[in-house]
Amino acid sequence: MGNVTSNVAAKFAFFPPDPATYGVTKDEETGKLVFSGVSPEMNMEVHQLSTKSGNKVVATFWRHPFARFTLLYSHGNAADLGQMAELFIELRAHLRVNIMSYDYSGYGASTGKPSEFNTYYDIEAVYNCLRSDYGIKQEELILYGQSVGSGPTLHMASRLKRLRGVVLHSAILSGIRVLYPVKMTLWFDIFKNIDKIRHVNSKVLVIHGTKDDIVDLSHGKRLWELAKEKYDPLWVKGGGHCNLETYPEYIKHLRKFINAMEKLSLTNPPPKELHNEPSITETKHNRCLRFRKR
């Protein structure tokens, strides 16, 4: 059975940029980590976080001085943080949010090898950092998953019951479903988002291009149908898989979603006794995206 699982994972491959598009060094005077190409005035902090699997993953926290929420961004499987920096700067400015993102194990300057379960351990380590280092509560957190990043995003969203919101950008129903139109979830499938989204309690915004030739629009529509707490979706007319950020309606709709979450937080604040929350310490299991059939 292990061979079957490995073969499926190989078909639904990870494609970390090689070589990595950035580097991380330590400043000898301050002892702080430095991300190549990012100057101190850009107000970004770098972390190297230990995961449950023993890997060290790089995470970047882009701080906005007046942020109400923090966006935890999981990118696609053919990009690393160096390629995403410009987008994060734009999102921070337009949405007035903090942005925490990270490279999966085996991507960029993160150690280890990429795998489905490592992405889960990676995002858990990043979430714990947000809690311990920045005091971010679930109610102040919006999870954002692009393409394959929808896998770790929904993994966390299904477990955090007081999360403020979720954004699914060109998301997948599951790994096998991208390659083959199967009707039922197979035991050896990976990133089984079609099952996990049913357990998400927060508002879910789905963004998908109508001309996506990598992950069909049907993935986004089905995820939106299955969400318990739906937010108005954005079907970008003519949008593909890797260019939705270039459409004016993309940032406009995201800003509308953030504003709606701010109003929701004012009209429906969490009970005080729920503020203390445990770290994620255990996992239990039952730039763009590329896929390859082999």
Tokens 């795998």 label which residue? 115
Tokens 């430095």 label which residue? 34
The span from the CA of 89 to the CA of 265, in Å, is 25
Structure tokens at 1: 């059975």
Q: Which helix (H) or strand (E) holds 99?
A: strand 98-102
DSSP result, 222-244: HHHHH-SEE---EEETT--SS-G
The residues carrying an active-site annotation are 147, 212, 241
DSSP state of 13: -
The span from the CA of 146 to the CA of 87, in Å, is 13
The span from the CA of 20 to the CA of 286, in Å, is 34
Q: Secondary structure of 109-152 in the HEC alphabet?
A: CCCCCCCHHHHHHHHHHHHHHHHHHHCCCHHHEEEEEEHHHHHH
- Helix, strand, or coil (residue 90): helix
